[in-house]
């Protein structure tokens, strides 16, 4: 696990970088949801050995049950 030290980061840089990271996170989240929708539409989880989208999310993607429910 990477430990981050922000001691030498100025407040303007800290705010800018925080906004950049969160913008990137939103983009990745949107892409992840698009993939989940396509996997579900194709039922691609069945040949992978899962009987439901929920089982795939928990088993293959290692999401918590709560996180899986939110995404499906």
In a domain, 4, yes or no: no
In a domain, 5, yes or no: no
Tens digit of each residue's pLDDT (9 = 90 or more) over 22-65: 999 999 999 999 999 999 999 999 999 999 999 999 999 999 99
Name the pLDDT band for 67 (thresholds 50, 70, 90): very high
The region, left, alpha or beta by phi > 0 then psi within -120 to 50, assigned to residue 62 is: left
- Burial (CB count within 10 angstroms: exposed 0-12, middle 13-18, buried 19+), residue 59: middle
pLDDT of residue 4: 84
Per-residue pLDDT, averaged over 11-32, amounts to 96
The answer to whether 12 and 19 are in contact (CB under 8 A) is no
Domain that holds residue 62: 11-71
23's tokens: 């913008």
In a domain, 15, yes or no: yes
pLDDT of residue 14: 96
The answer to whether the predicted template modeling score (pTM) of the entire model surpasses 0.85 is: no
In a domain, 55, yes or no: yes
In the chain, how many domains are there? 1
For the CA atoms of the chain, what is the radius of gyration?
Answer: 17
41's tokens: 């539409």
């Amino acid at each position: 696990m990477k430990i981050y030290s922000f001691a030498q980061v100025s407040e303007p840089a800290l705010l800018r970088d925080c906004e950049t990271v969160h913008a990137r996170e939103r983009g990745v989240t949107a892409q992840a949801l698009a993939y989940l929708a396509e996997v579900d539409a194709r039922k691609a989880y069945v040949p992978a050995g899962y009987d439901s989208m929920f089982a795939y999310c928990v088993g293959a993607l290692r999401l918590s049950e709560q996180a899986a429910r939110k995404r499906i």
